[in-house]
Structures are given as structure tokens and as C-alpha cells.
């Protein structure tokens, strides 16, 4: 059997039904420690602040919604796009003078560009880097992560994880779903870039402001 026949044979074998394979074990990249949720929340806030983001730790949904109303008023936002998640709508709805629009499936970028703020829901919060992991199932949700000059993310405190390996066992089954479309976006602070003079500039390639609401204790 020559090389061509070997290649064609392998293709034929892989075109047929395949037995489900178990994912490989998660390697121990960083050890896990028994850290309480309050400590994770404080570290998340500190790490996010270090990269010019802002974390708002709220004991309840009422406190989060009140603070978001203040943020909208102080920022002068009159409209925003909202990811179709219950947490995002819970934060965005009911704000006087603020029009909330659901992110469409595949909007032209020019339609979202003038929107001042997006409201997203995070699937996990990583305390060691102050990062939010957001599953974007549609192109419009991914655009909402980048185009508006301000991005507001909300998540309940039970979404806090020590680091990415601590969330990997939850991420892998979702990422392996055959029908899965979209992307897992990791957001770590507002967009940052520096020129040759090492001058840091915010908002060149994405949002200039990033605010993360962590709700619950």
C-alpha cells in the first residue's frame, strides 16, 4: 500500500461513525486552594483595578440595580445594547431615561458603533487576573464586547473561580458540544495599547471603560 492509499484509507475510517472519546484529564497548571468567595471577590476587584477596570461588589440585586442607575445617570448614557441573558436584562431594565435594546444576531458593525454601552453577562469570573469569560453564541454578542466605548458585565458571585484551570472542567463539556457555535471570549479590563514611547492608551481596539458587577456574597 503506497502513501496515497494510506491517506485515503484514514480518511474513509474517519468519515464513518466515531465512538465518543473522553476528554483528556485536566493538567495541574496551577494548584487549587480552598479560598472563600469573599476573598475571591476582593482579589478579582484588585486585579481588575490593576488593569484599569472597575469591579462593583454588590450584596444584592437591589444594590446592583441602584448603582447601575447611578452609573447611567453620571455617564449620560441614553441607550445601550443588552445580551439576551436574564442577568443582563435584570441589571439594564427599569432605568429611567435609558433605552435597552437586545443585541441582534448579526448586526452590521456600523449599527452598533454609535451605541455608548453594552451590558453583558459573564459565565465565569477569574480572580487571579480579574477576567470575565463570556460565551458569545452569535456574532452580535461578540461585537457587543468590542464596539461600544463602555462595557458593563454582570455576574453572580457563584461564578467566581480562582483561575482558568479551576473553571476548565466546566468549560470543556460546553466547548465539546457538536452543535456549539460562537466563541468563549475572555475580557481582561478595557482595551489597552502602548506606543513606542511606552505611553498607555485606553480604548483603541475595544471599550475604553469596563465595569463588572459581582452580585451576591
Give the contacts of 205 (CB within 8 A, at least 6 positions apart): 146, 191, 193
Compute the Cα dihedral for 88, 67, 116, 164 and give only its sign.
Answer: negative
Give the contacts of 112 (CB within 8 A, at least 6 positions apart): 81, 140, 143, 144, 147, 148
Question: Which domains are present in the chain?
Answer: 36-215 (3.40.50.10420)
Distances (CA, A) of 165 to 45, 51, 115, 144, 160: 19, 21, 35, 26, 12
CA distance 12 to 99: 55
Distances (CA, A) of 147 to 5, 68, 133, 144: 50, 20, 17, 6
CA distance 63 to 193: 34
In tens digits, the chain (217 residues) has pLDDT values of 688 888 888 887 777 666 666 766 766 777 788 889 999 999 999 999 999 999 999 999 999 999 999 999 999 999 999 999 999 999 998 888 899 999 999 888 888 888 999 999 999 999 999 999 999 999 999 999 999 999 999 999 999 999 998 998 899 889 888 888 889 999 998 876 776 777 766 666 678 899 999 999 8
Grid cell in block for residue 47: 486585579
Residue corresponding to grid cell 431594565: 93
CA distance 88 to 122: 9
Q: What is the pTM of this model?
A: 0.84
Amino acid at each position: 500500500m503506497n502513501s496515497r492509499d494510506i491517506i485515503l484509507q484514514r480518511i474513509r475510517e474517519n468519515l464513518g461513525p466515531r465512538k465518543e472519546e473522553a476528554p483528556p484529564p485536566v493538567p495541574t497548571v496551577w494548584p487549587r486552594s480552598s479560598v472563600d468567595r469573599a476573598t475571591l471577590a476582593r482579589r478579582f476587584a484588585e486585579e481588575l483595578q490593576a488593569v484599569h477596570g472597575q469591579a462593583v461588589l454588590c450584596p444584592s440585586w437591589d444594590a446592583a440595580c441602584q448603582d447601575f442607575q447611578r452609573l447611567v445617570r453620571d455617564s449620560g448614557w441614553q441607550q445601550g445594547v443588552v445580551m439576551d441573558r436574564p442577568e443582563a436584562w435584570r441589571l439594564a431594565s427599569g432605568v429611567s431615561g435609558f433605552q435597552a435594546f437586545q443585541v441582534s444576531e448579526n448586526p452590521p458593525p456600523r449599527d452598533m458603533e454609535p451605541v455608548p454601552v453594552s451590558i453583558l453577562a459573564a459565565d465565569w469570573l477569574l480572580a487571579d487576573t480579574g477576567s470575565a469569560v463570556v460565551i458569545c453564541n452569535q456574532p452580535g454578542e461578540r461585537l457587543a464586547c468590542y464596539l461600544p466605548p463602555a462595557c458593563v458585565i454582570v455576574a453572580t458571585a457563584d461564578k467566581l473561580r480562582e483561575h482558568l484551570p479551576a473553571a476548565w472542567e466546566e468549560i470543556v463539556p460546553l466547548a465539546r458540544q457538536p452543535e456549539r457555535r460562537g466563541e468563549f471570549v475572555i475580557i481582561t479590563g478595557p482595551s489597552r495599547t502602548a506606543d513606542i514611547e511606552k505611553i498607555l492608551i485606553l480604548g483603541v481596539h475595544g471599550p475604553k471603560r469596563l465595569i463588572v458587577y459581582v452580585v451576591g456574597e
